[in-house]
Chain A
Amino acid sequence: MSSDSTLFSNRWLPVLLVAPMMLLIALFFYVPIFQAFYWSFFLERPFGGGSEFVGLDNFARVLADPEFWKAGWRTIIFMVTASSLAVLVPLILAVAADRKIRLSLPARNVLVWPKGVAGASIGVVFAFIFNPFVGILAPLNSIFPGIWAPGINGTDAFITLIAAHVWGGIPFNFVILLAGLQSIPRTMHQAAAMDGAGPWRRIFDVQLPLIMPQLFLTLVLEFTESVTSAFALIDTITNGGPGGATTLLVYKIYMDGFSGYDLSGASTQTAILMVFVIILTAAQFIFLGRRVNYER
């Protein structure tokens, strides 16, 4: 709102109103972020053993660790494959559900159900369903021994993670993209039909270009989401295995911090991951964001 005199002009009331939220956010968001960067310059001993300023030593140590680079690389691979699938699959479903067909209504209902299932719960379920001995692919294994072995084969484990991630990501992306499709005015379809474009062609010439803002938004959020939400899935499906093949950065940070008690290392990696996420988000806004906004 502009500087119109119609706004309330109390001095302390608004402070009081935002205070509780700001206090929580300061304490549990900004302090931890500050602390992660702060600690990355100190060598922190666990159990209150004091700390010592070490400059960039922590960064040197982390960056020299091949495990860090491997985890970082896996994070990027997971981010790109999982999040593009987690947008593409709901996109296809949304385009289908946008049509006036009988299955559209039940599908709109069913496709939001995963929102109610925790990542860890679906992880437990997928770990069972894709279990090589009793799961859905067990019969296949008895014919071709070893063809499905997420416990040994890193790729199989990765696929399981992605399948579970996409499953859990459907509701949000589906709802957003479908809402975008449904906000396209009916006359836009009619105009395109008058111009000679059939239903298939309209998907690519009209519908997809017009939901670019929604598509962009889901992709940006999905990138951040895939970096973090993977934790629950990894912890319940693969435990980072086999042989570290599914140890993404979030999982490595957790293991280093809570199992290895390497607080400085974990903080340093947290700081790096945060910078990465911020740069990535900013880059998406700069390179993609400008092109997708237009007045309707």
Chain B
Amino acid sequence: MNAIDTAIRAAAADIKLIGVTKAYDAQTVVIPPMDVELRAGEFTVVLGPSGCGKSTLLQMIAGLERVSDGKIMVGGREVQDLEPKRRGCAMVFQNYALYPHMTVFENMAYSLKVAGVRKAERAARVAAVARMLALSDYLTRKPGQLSGGQRQRVAIGRAIVREPNVLLFDEPLSNLDAQLRHDMRVELSELHRRIGATSIFVTHDQVEAMTLADRILILNKGRIEQFDTPKAIYHHPASVFVAKFIGAPPMNILPVTGDGSVLRLADGQIVAEARLTGSYQLGIRPEDIIVGIKADGHAVRAVLRFREDLGSHSVLAADLAGSVIRIATPFGADLINQPELFLNLPAARLHLFDAETGRATCRAFAAQ
């Protein structure tokens, strides 16, 4: 760690939300009471479809929206009634929100100027951050003269120059093209490792979530579906919603019924042995399905609809018991002319969800 890093290394703070609620009136509840705890220095990604309340959540932590009820603790301090500037948070906005009439330097120095930091120190701190973000050559330019990636860096620089305890990101990469987005992701991880501020990153992009997060918080209609590491979320989705939201193509979900010894699909084919009765939803990831062309063991019969060749692998779509099932498979030229497929669904890779609530049930297959 060099001198620059220590100069702007922030004291990370932990964040606790206790019964935080956002409601505009009795009918429109955006976020029902929520309890969650983010560890100091952790990089949390809040992931969810648009309208799930993830931006609202971020803005309540920032102080840009009022909480309807509940407490927000940052570093052990109750902040929900404090003004944004007194919460120790900084934010990177989706459209950058740079001041178009100020130079890059002025943009980054503005918060320090408002805080009454002396001129010499302002210059030194902006210079340090600019060096770190490779912006030193652009300090006298206006945002209008910068490329998208450079603006993004200025927005980040403006946020970290104050050495905030908490860094908030509101879908900051969504305006960049694919290549730049990838580069910025790498830079952001790097940056987080160096300055170590507690970070909350809101996005609807699962790739960003999987690559950046220490832990992912998945929101659906204002409720927490799951809050866990990327690995756990991928391998042990807590609900059908999470299962379908993560992974591309998403996890296949098939309705099944158990008769106490086996699970059957809607058309009566047996997919697995399990001592369960009643209706369930069975999940399996496309890449976990083993494709064969002959019936063996518990293989189920499906009819190939079409295949998409993606170069590194193919995605097949097949009809199985009235549902469409997707299979990711390495090249298999012999499959092309085979309308009939036999699919093996390994028991260890099956996920079982409650038919009503969509929540994952106990590891039904773990014992086998």
Contact = CB atoms under 8 A, between A and B. Distances in A.
User: A and B touching (C-beta < 8 Å)?
Assistant: yes
A290 to B, nearest CB: 13
B97 interface: yes
B220 to A, nearest CB: 25
Interface stretch (B67-75, B85-93, B260-268): B85-93
Contact of B101 (A195, A201, A294): A294
Given A187-B97, A294-B100, A296-B100, A195 B85 contact: yes
B54 to A, nearest CB: 16
Given A187-B93, A191-B93, A295-B144, A201 B114 contact: yes
Contacts of B64: 190, 193-194
B95 A187 contact: yes
A193 B97 contact: no
A190 B97 contact: yes
Contact of B114 (A185, A188, A197, A210): A197
A209 B101 contact: yes
Interface centre among A193, A194, A197, A206 (most CB of B within 10 A): A194
Main SS class of interface, A = helix
A294 B144 contact: yes
Contact of A196 (B59, B99, B114, B142): B114
Contacts of A191: 91, 93, 97-99, 158
A212 interface: yes
B250 interface: no
A197 B85 CA distance: 8
Contacts of B63: 193
Interface in A204-251: 205-206, 209-210, 212
Nearest to A202: B114
A205 B111 CA distance: 12
Contacts of A296: 100, 144
- Interface size range on B against A: 20 to 34
Interface string A73-102: 000000000000000000000000000000
A198 B111 CA distance: 11
B100 A195 contact: no
Contact of A193 (B85, B94, B144): B85
Interface centre among A191, A193, A196, A205 (most CB of B within 10 A): A191
Contacts of B100: 210, 294-296
Given A190-B64, A294-B144, A210 B101 contact: yes
Interface in B82-127: 83-85, 89-91, 93-95, 97-101, 110-111, 114-115
B30 interface: no
Nearest to B143: A295
A212 B98 CA distance: 17
Contacts of A187: 93-95, 97
Interface in A163-194: 185, 187-188, 190-194
Interface in A137-168: none
A185 B114 CA distance: 21
Contacts of B57: none
A192 B101 CA distance: 13
Contacts of B59: 190
Contact of A194 (B85, B95, B99, B142): B85
A194 B88 CA distance: 9
B62 interface: yes
B93 A195 contact: no
A205 B99 CA distance: 9
B97 A196 contact: no
Interface of B: 59, 62-64, 83-85, 89-91, 93-95, 97-101, 110-111, 114-115, 142-144, 158, 162
Q: Which 3 A-B pairs have the closest CB atoms?
A: A295-B144, A196-B85, A195-B111
13 contacts: A187-B97, A192-B99, A193-B63, A193-B84, A194-B62, A194-B84, A195-B85, A196-B84, A196-B115, A209-B101, A295-B100, A295-B143, A296-B144
Interface of A: 185, 187-188, 190-198, 201, 205-206, 209-210, 212, 294-296
